[in-house]
Structure 1
């Protein structure tokens, strides 16, 4: 894919023009013909979905973003001291809102030379990079448009050591097999001396608190969840009626994860002409749109070990709602 220079940063595009269309069609074909029906959460984030999620992060019930930010603020100086990173890589960077905490600490520590955000949304990358380029004029910013699930696209080791930040508990959107594959690929990519992984994960806690975070009183999360159907209608010419589904947040105790679902309010049929699909929904049938695993240290540490990482530091907020951990290649 071609590179471009915009302002004081560069953008590398590693996604083909038809990537999203092909990926969406493949996910819908596979997920909606399963029993139970499922779709991955990455399709939430069109322009409207991203706006709604930004609103969610500011809701009183949604503790995750605030808790993670608190942990980062309390420990950023220590993270900078421990890693002495020359390059900060951020996977799924989005708006890079929390990134400034790390950038400030690494800049103050005198080691940082480069910030390398990676995201599937080119518009989000450019907006964030423009803002950061103005705030950190001495920093080299190299943005990459890529899908980290299939292409990690880490910058080379010329500016090592590299600190890879994977925040927001996005790891929880992957099932155990996907997590193992992702962490394994990440470990294989971190080969330079001093490379490190900074991971943000939501922790197991009172289910009532987690349920409120995924089913807020204002109905923003419900609107966010149903917007997925609008995305399918627009992109695949389907005829989903968002009003025919109810938003549901479920605590799956056995797998220790939150699940978001869309539950059919009545028996009906949906057509997706682009895929020549006709789907029958029974009243009360669920379409699972997201999993969000919650973690315990004693369970996550063996996953990291299996992937080839050593857990070095584990920091939480005072209420132990959220953890930020530092892991090194073993």
Structure 2
């Protein structure tokens, strides 16, 4: 970000989280291929829209992963010490963690997400249904190092990262995230991770470009958030959602495509768009079992167990740090 923009953000007296958002947006929109980080999808509206996406008929990952978690709940729960704290990275709706909590009693649950209000609401509902569970919601950017609540620091740790969110990271970023999670959870920790598997393009593309247009609303909500929180002037009618499959990179890409030549203004900066130019908002990498295991090993984890559905659409992996045994 240039000096002019830095002065502008200071003049607007943004808090630290909003200032980081502003820096990331301005840096991303001034790259040759404009981009925005998918972690900023999840304001309250974005979180609600994503819950709606998970219920769509085209969106197979959630129902397939839920099936694995239901069918294998006892096996997965057997890997979790009874006095453990489960730390969920990027926690959203509590549907998946409830399956594990119903199968196995643990001491504490720490949902971590950048959308603080949403996870607090979810945590309060979970606490009512599991009154014996100590729930410690934590508003933090889970993609960066953060400190766990003091109440759980001495407990055995199990990370929980469902939903194939690992696929939103570039491979080198995924490795750094797994390294960071290993450091946060500490020696002897385990982690349960959902990983979407490679499959036919005709299944993948509709999952990210549904007939009802909910994913398009989810994608465009990022521009609404930038307008609201940073004072930009994006014209929502001048952008369209697009999902494409990049076969060489093993990933689905989401873009917001400019429908005409236009300019957007943010903190005194003029950002030009050509007709057809896009903002790259998300990748969703699809892995083979072997490629994900190799990634985990590169990040200092040891693959322990793996479960898939009958059609090999999705996988749930258990990995462990040195010093733990399954």
Task: Give the TM-score of the pair, scaled to structure 1.
Answer: 0.89
Q: After superposition, where does 1:207-286 map in structure 2 within 5 Å?
A: 207-272=201-266, 274=267, 276-286=268-278
3-state SS in 2 of match to 1:83? coil
Q: What is the CA-CA distance between 1:235 and the residue it aligns to?
A: 1.6
Q: What is the CA-CA distance between 1:100 and the residue it aligns to?
A: 0.4
Q: Distance in 2 between matches of 1:19 and 1:97?
A: 31
| 1:42-85 residue CA offsets vs partner (Å, 9 max, x unmatched) | 22222222222121111100111111111111111111113325
Q: What is the CA-CA distance between 1:158 and the residue it aligns to?
A: 5.1
Corresponding residue to 1:288 among 280, 287, 291: 280
**Residue 326 in structure 1 maps to residue 326 in structure 2:** no
Does structure 2 retain, via aligned residues, the 8 Å contact 1:190–1:329? Answer: no
3-state SS in 1 of match to 2:79? helix
3-state SS in 2 of match to 1:185? helix
Corresponding residue to 2:191 among 193, 197, 222: 197
Q: Distance in 1 between matches of 2:219 and 2:186?
A: 39
**Residue 311 in structure 1 maps to residue 299 in structure 2:** no
Does structure 2 retain, via aligned residues, the 8 Å contact 1:271–1:278? Answer: yes
Q: After superposition, where does 1:134-173 map in structure 2 within 5 Å?
A: 134-155=128-149, 159-173=154-168
Q: What is the CA-CA distance between 1:129 and the residue it aligns to?
A: 1.7
**Residue 65 in structure 1 maps to residue 38 in structure 2:** no
Does structure 1 retain, via aligned residues, the 8 Å contact 2:62–2:163? Answer: yes
Q: What is the CA-CA distance between 1:151 and the residue it aligns to?
A: 2.7
**Residue 113 in structure 1 maps to residue 104 in structure 2:** no
Does structure 2 retain, via aligned residues, the 8 Å contact 1:144–1:153? Answer: no
Partner residue in 2 for 1:78: 75
**Residue 104 in structure 1 maps to residue 109 in structure 2:** no
With over 3 angstroms needed to count, the CA separation of the structure-2 counterparts of 1:201 and 1:326, relative to structure 1, is same
Q: After superposition, where does 1:124-143 map in structure 2 within 5 Å?
A: 124-143=118-137
Q: Distance in 2 between matches of 1:81 and 1:58?
A: 29
| 1:223-274 residue CA offsets vs partner (Å, 9 max, x unmatched) | 11111111111122211111111210010111111110011111111111x2
Unaligned runs of 5+ in 1: 1-16
Q: Distance in 2 between matches of 1:324 and 1:295?
A: 12
| 1:181-225 residue CA offsets vs partner (Å, 9 max, x unmatched) | 1111222233343x2011011111111111000000111111111
| 1:143-180 residue CA offsets vs partner (Å, 9 max, x unmatched) | 21111112343356655321110111111111112111
Partner residue in 2 for 1:95: 93
Partner residue in 2 for 1:25: 22
With over 3 angstroms needed to count, the CA separation of the structure-2 counterparts of 1:158 and 1:244, relative to structure 1, is closer
Does structure 2 retain, via aligned residues, the 8 Å contact 1:146–1:153? Answer: no
Does structure 2 retain, via aligned residues, the 8 Å contact 1:114–1:159? Answer: no
3-state SS in 1 of match to 2:260? coil
Aligned length: 307
| 1:98-153 residue CA offsets vs partner (Å, 9 max, x unmatched) | 1100111112xxxx111121122222222122111111111111221111112343
Moved more, 158-167 or 255-264: 158-167
Moved more, 294-303 or 120-129: 120-129
3-state SS in 1 of match to 2:137? strand
